[in-house]
Amino acid sequence: MGLFSGLRRGLDRSVRSRWHASARAAGLEPGNLLGWEPTADGGYCVASVGLLSLAGTTATDWSHVGWHRIERGGYDKDTTTLHWQLYADGSADPEVGEVRLQEPGRLPDIFRDRVAASIAVEHFIALEGSRKVRNVDPGVIISGRRDLSRADAPIAWRASLPRGLDWDLPGLRDLADTSIIRLRSEYDPDH
């Protein structure tokens, strides 16, 4: 047995080519590939500078998620599963995703780092005069996120809630709207 017999080689050239072509066809620029792992079902999970990408065993049908679209997520080591929730578009429940990996490798760290890298600004704004709800301070989290797949991308401003709160609490939507306007003018006055 050789010294390097247990090491895995890089992503197969044909898989990498199909991944890159799929991202470009979707109008995305993935940037450099940072890591990849085979999924439990024999597919692929690829992390690049700009995107998290998934494909089945044939690597022909890819789905891509920009890091800036992920509101929250993480890695469950007991099930070897990466999971995430995207920002809701306001008219529907947030989209969720997950992928079970054969081995985690560096993907959980890359996932966390890329999501954090997309955050240009993040502030919690308290809802004045409100008491805690289910032991949570009422307020909104305003995030200014950068699309890491496009160097010229403007900051995308989002409002989200701490866990345990919902938008039915009076004053939260107005607070979110006014806070986004205020923070956008402060941090991103040209847009």
Q: What is the pLDDT of residue 90?
A: 63
Nearest alpha carbon to residue 20 among 62, 65, 58, 56: 62
Report which of residues 13 and 131 the model is more confident about: 13
SS3 call for 68: helix
Which residues contact residue 186 at a Cβ distance below 8 angstroms, ignoring those fewer than 6 apart?
A: none
Domains and CATH numbers, the chain: 13-106 (2.30.29), 119-187 (no CATH)
Q: How confident is residue 76, by pLDDT bands cut at 50, 70 and 90?
A: very high
Asked whether the predicted pLDDT for residue 190 surpasses 70, the reply is yes
Q: How confident is residue 8, by pLDDT bands cut at 50, 70 and 90?
A: low
Tens-place pLDDT, residues 105-148: 999 999 999 999 999 999 999 998 777 777 778 899 999 999 99
Q: How confident is residue 73, by pLDDT bands cut at 50, 70 and 90?
A: very high
Nearest alpha carbon to residue 36 among 59, 75, 10: 10
